[in-house]
Amino acid sequence: MAGTVLEVKVLSRRDRLKKILDIATPVILAIAVFIAISAVAALLITVVYQGAGRLSLNLILEYPSANPAEAGMRSAFLGSFWTVGLSALVSMPLGIATGLYLSEWSSWRRFRRFVEFNIANLAGVPSIIFGLVGLSLLTYGLGWGRSIIAGAFTLGIMTLPLVTVSAAEAVKTVPEALKHGAYALGATKLQVTRYIILPRSLPMMMTGAILAISRAIGEAAPILIISGLLFIRRDPVSIFDRFTVMPLQIFNWVSRPQVAFQELASAAIIVLLMLLLALNASAIAIRYRFQKRLVL
């Protein structure tokens, strides 16, 4: 009898603790979300307040200068365009092809698991490690020097695991019934991949690829190791030219004590954020367009 009463008391304490946790958990999560949003909003408001007055076409059309009234980031903007564009040409086809192979074409289970495990680990490696690998392998090993192509391949290798993981997950979302039905009608594996899997998984693949490119355009550490340039006053005209990128130009301006350069850095951050928002919006638009086409 005493044991039963003790068990009832223990159960009642547990029930009260569960009720307290049920009430407190949403409050704690709401406070955490509020703090995170407030911190991000404070940073954005500060950046916009400091840099809005410096926004103009000269910020993109003019070269860097020691005079903040004439300074721009044309060379950095073009350098980002070259490196990110070339890295997308490297990572997107290879990542999508690798995801398709691992999900549909690979018949060796142990090899597939080994590759998937290592790709998942590479997706979490710090970007500076890719910069060091690119410096030793591409810059010095292959003799490419501190050129655009070395930086582009470094960013491409860095974003390749993200594109591969998103492509593999996109293929898994295709219903098995559609693939089995196509095989039952006599379709080959290549035809199933071309007409069944790709049209239905491509929206998610493109979304993951564009988000990976968004990460690449904001990276500074690997490009700082590869390029080493914070100040350059000429346009890149070849993939073997020296270069700089927008994050490095922002770092250069932020490191200066003058208030005018701080304002230029804030304006450049706004431009970079606008580019990232445009890439994210394009990912959403591409996904919506392909999904609408499938419905029709």
- Would you list the domain boundaries of the chain? 58-229+238-295
Task: For 253-283, write each residue's pLDDT tens digit.
Answer: 888 888 888 888 888 989 888 888 888 887 7
| 124-142: average pLDDT | 86
197 Cβ contact partners less than 8 Å away, ≥ 6 residues apart: 100, 104, 171, 174, 179
Q: Which two tokens stand for residue 118?
A: 């290592």
Rounded to whole angstroms, what are the CA distances from 80 to 45, 146, 230? Answer: 25, 15, 13
Residues 223, 247 contacting (CB under 8 angstroms):
yes
Answer whether 47's CB lies under 8 Å from 269's CB.
yes
pTM of the predicted model as reported, rounded to 2 decimal places = 0.81
- Can you read off the two tokens belonging to residue 94? 């290879």
151-221-236 Cα angle (round to 5): 35
Closest CA to 118 of 164, 80, 86: 164
| pLDDT bracket for residue 229 (50, 70, 90) | low
Fold of the 58-229+238-295 domain? MetI-like fold (1.10.3720)
Summarize pLDDT for 42-62 with one digit per residue, the tens. 988 888 888 888 888 888 888
For residue 202, the one-letter residue type is: L
The confidence score (pLDDT) of residue 294 equals 59
CA distance 81 to 101: 30
Decide: 103 and 179 in contact? Cβ < 8 Å.
Answer: no
| Amino acid identity, position 97 | A
Residue 35 has pLDDT above 90, yes or no: yes
* Separation in Å, CA 132 to CA 128, 138, 154, 224: 6, 10, 9, 10
The Cα–Cα gap between 200 and 57 comes to: 41
